[in-house]
Amino acid sequence: MPEAMAGVSGMDQQLRTQDRVARQLDEFRRQQGALELQTIEVRPVFDGDTLRDLAPDERNRAKEIIENFMVAANGVTVRFLDARGFPSLRRVVRSPKRWDRIVELARQLGEALPPEPDPRALQQFLAKRRSADPVRFPDLSLSVIKLLGAGEYVLEHPGEAGPGHFGLAVADYGHSTAPNRRYPDLITQRLLKAALGDAPPPYDNEELSSLATHCTCKEDDANKVERMVRKAAAALLLEGRVGERFDGLITGASSKGTWVRIFHPPIEGRVVRGFEGLDVGDRVRVRLVETNADRGFIDFVISG
């Protein structure tokens, strides 16, 4: 334990209690079918003003404690509002439209998934693959995440059965724990304040529905900015490696374009030639043909 922490009376026992409870919450969620996914998040490493590397941001027990308590708190919050007869802003991830592709990825690995979306079956498959091939599990996780689709905010009326959150395998879920940085959480906190004070909801249903759509759109905009920053850093790191070949994984395939994430370094770019017939989860060999740090462009072609 760090010296500063050790100097706080009772901190050791408090952390151990939190860790034990978080693990119990995690186990309960896994039994319900919450998906155990592992992706590689990277952060830029600078030497002064020079970008030297993109290093993986590793998970740890502290992050897992926070995550499990956060999920529990968000569920309790919306159930409280529902019990008080209040509407709520829910965070949902719908049943994946591309479940058939997830089934196909499982089949390629010798496993069978049911024809209809089933979070428990998917979690059992993921747990088995994590144990059998931990090195490649982040790549499988990334494919599944891309195929699950994005989350969104929706208005849910009290007593209404909404779409729920497929990835967390919960029917009741909102965002409430970060009102200082995320507007949907601030809306939920205002609803909570009204419910606790026996006051009417601060928004009518039309306003909440409009805010849900707005928050989803703004989140998409913020994600685009974050992706642009990451791609600019990645393009800067790769600008001296044009012409090199890399192994990678297809992470997106649609009318908007085909995307690949190379393994070393873990960077995503667009496949501009030779992408015909490729789908999410396919392993490929690509050649880097162009980078543009100002525009965040990293372009690859399929290489034999």
Looking at residue 264, which CATH number applies to its domain?
2.40.50.140
Model confidence pLDDT, tens digit, residues 166-220: 999 899 999 999 999 999 999 999 999 999 999 999 999 999 999 999 999 999 9
Distances (CA, A) of 49 to 4, 231, 270: 32, 17, 27
Distances (CA, A) of 303 to 36, 45, 101, 251, 271: 33, 29, 24, 17, 11
Position 8 in a domain:
no
pLDDT in the model for residue 135: 78
Number of domains within the chain: 2
- Co-location of 123 and 265 in the same domain: no
pLDDT in the model for residue 173: 95
- Co-location of 151 and 254 in the same domain: no
Of 230, 91, 62, 225, nearest in space to 151 by CA:
91
Position 5 in a domain:
no
Q: Tokens 């151990």 map to which residue?
A: 16
Yes or no: say if 116 and 29 are a contact pair by the CB < 8 Å rule.
Answer: no
Q: List CB contacts of 37: < 8 A, sequence separation 6 or more.
A: 126, 141, 144, 145, 167
Dist CA 143 CA 138 (whole Å): 9
pLDDT in the model for residue 161: 87
pLDDT band at 44, cuts 50/70/90? confident
- Co-location of 221 and 243 in the same domain: no
- Co-location of 174 and 121 in the same domain: yes
Q: What percent of the chain is modeled with pLDDT above 70? A: 100
- Co-location of 70 and 162 in the same domain: yes
Dist CA 26 CA 303 (whole Å): 42
When the pLDDT of each residue in the chain is averaged and rounded to a whole number, the result is: 92
- Co-location of 258 and 201 in the same domain: no
198: left (phi over 0), alpha (psi -120 to 50) or beta: left
**Final residue before a domain boundary, out of 200, 225, 250:** 225
pLDDT in the model for residue 210: 98
pLDDT band at 94, cuts 50/70/90? very high
Position 256 in a domain:
yes
Dist CA 241 CA 239 (whole Å): 6
- Co-location of 259 and 163 in the same domain: no
- Is the model's pLDDT at 304 over the cut of 80? no
Model confidence pLDDT, tens digit, residues 143-154: 999 899 899 999
- Co-location of 31 and 163 in the same domain: yes
Position 4 in a domain:
no
**Final residue before a domain boundary, out of 225, 255, 288:** 225
- Co-location of 121 and 269 in the same domain: no
- Co-location of 270 and 141 in the same domain: no
pLDDT in the model for residue 188: 98
Instruction: Give the domain extent around 32.
Output: 18-225
- Co-location of 82 and 175 in the same domain: yes
Position 47 in a domain:
yes
- Is the model's pLDDT at 255 over the cut of 80? yes
Q: List CB contacts of 265: < 8 A, sequence separation 6 or more.
A: 42, 53, 54, 234, 237, 238
**Final residue before a domain boundary, out of 190, 225, 260:** 225
pLDDT band at 24, cuts 50/70/90? very high
Higher-pLDDT residue of 295 and 135 is 295
pLDDT band at 20, cuts 50/70/90? very high
Work out the end-to-end distance of the chain between its first and last CA atoms, rounded to an integer number of angstroms.
Answer: 51
- Co-location of 198 and 254 in the same domain: no
pLDDT in the model for residue 48: 86
Higher-pLDDT residue of 30 and 103 is 103
